[in-house]
Amino acid sequence: MTDLRGKRAIVSGASRGIGRGVAIELAKAGAEVVVNFRSHSDEAQQVVEQCRQASGVAAHAICADFGSQQAVESLVEEAAERMGGIDIVVSNAVYSDRHLFLDSDLDEFRKTIDVSMWGAFYFVRAAGQRMVAAGNGGAMVVISSPHAHMAIPGAMAYNMAKAANDQMARTAACELSQHRIRVNIIHPGWTDTPGERKFFSEETLAAEGAKLPWGRLGKPEEIGRGAVFLCDSNNEYITGSTVTIDGGIQLPWREMYRINEEPDQ
């Protein structure tokens, strides 16, 4: 059984979606959790209550915009003060807008980079500085995406940011290993989150999810359980790794349709 009792975690972008799933699963494992949010304060408070009810742990909601270096650094400082330190960091906050790059609104393009790439860097850097100073080791998980290596059209800024996230995490894993701070990456597949409703209708999500190898979209709590696994000190030999939690979506599953076709008579 995973036991994170006594650990202090901070999860960015945790009021909804994957971040919410991660925060609640960390709390179930016994960790005290800071739930970061930007604009969904009511939902963030709901996550805090669910964390508290999960195993009686303390939980806190802290607002910070990941497009601002100062805001991210202040978030880390306040989280450390409230919990007395930081042992677990999960970088999840993102922004994404979709347009073909030739027609992109550059303000939206820059916002995606600022939040999804620079925000992740500011977060890992500020938290890492505190964790190194404390000298207690710890674990970081960067929620990245298959967009890091798949050139999804209409998502150039997000693709760029996620590719940078992967390199950031692997480099951090190398540099922080001497301090016994582990850094790993999760690549979620197509996950059922509020953010997907920005781009797809309910009908499309249901229909397309049914076509996937596992017959459905992923659930935020499934990504959360992966994060718990990576943060468990029993798994301290895992660092610089990428865990894919996608129900097989990166497998060559479309080829099965060709293989299963009836041959011509």
Average the pLDDT over 106-111 and give the result.
96
Number of DSSP helices (H) and strands (E) in the chain, helices first: 9, 7
Which range (118-127, 166-175, 196-205, 210-219) has the least confidence? 196-205
- Beta-carbon count within 10 A of 203 CB: 8
Buried b (16+ CB within 10 A) or exposed e, 159-179: bbbbbbbbebbbebbeebeeb
Q: Is pLDDT of 265 > 60?
A: no
Average the pLDDT over 233-246 and give the result.
96
Average the pLDDT over 183-205 and give the result.
87
The single residue listed with the structure tokens 């030999």 is 237
**What pTM did the predictor assign?**
0.92
Q: Is residue 1 part of a domain?
A: no
Percent of the chain surpassing pLDDT 70: 96
Q: Is residue 220 part of a domain?
A: yes
Chain segment 1-16, per-residue pLDDT in tens:
789 999 999 999 999 9
Q: Is residue 3 part of a domain?
A: no
Chain segment 70-102, per-residue pLDDT in tens:
999 999 999 999 999 999 999 999 999 889 999
First vs last C-alpha separation in the chain: 55
Q: Is residue 265 part of a domain?
A: no
Count of the separate structural domains present in the chain: 1
Q: What is the pLDDT of residue 261?
A: 61
Give the CATH number of the domain where residue 231 resides: 3.40.50.720
Cα–Cα distance measured from residue 69 to residue 120, given in angstroms and rounded to the nearest whole number:
10
Which range (126-135, 189-198, 234-243) has the least confidence? 189-198
* pLDDT bucket at 119, cuts 50 / 70 / 90: very high
Mean pLDDT of the chain: 93
Q: Is residue 213 part of a domain?
A: yes
Q: Is residue 70 part of a domain?
A: yes
Q: Is pLDDT of 204 > 60?
A: yes
Show which residues are catalytic: 145, 158, 162
Per the structure, the complete domain to which residue 170 belongs is given by 8-260
Q: Is residue 155 part of a domain?
A: yes
CA-based nearest residue to 16, from 209, 214, 198 = 198
Cα–Cα distance measured from residue 197 to residue 195, given in angstroms and rounded to the nearest whole number:
5
Containing 217, the helix (H) or strand (E) segment is: none
Q: What is the pLDDT of residue 195?
A: 78
Q: Is residue 218 part of a domain?
A: yes
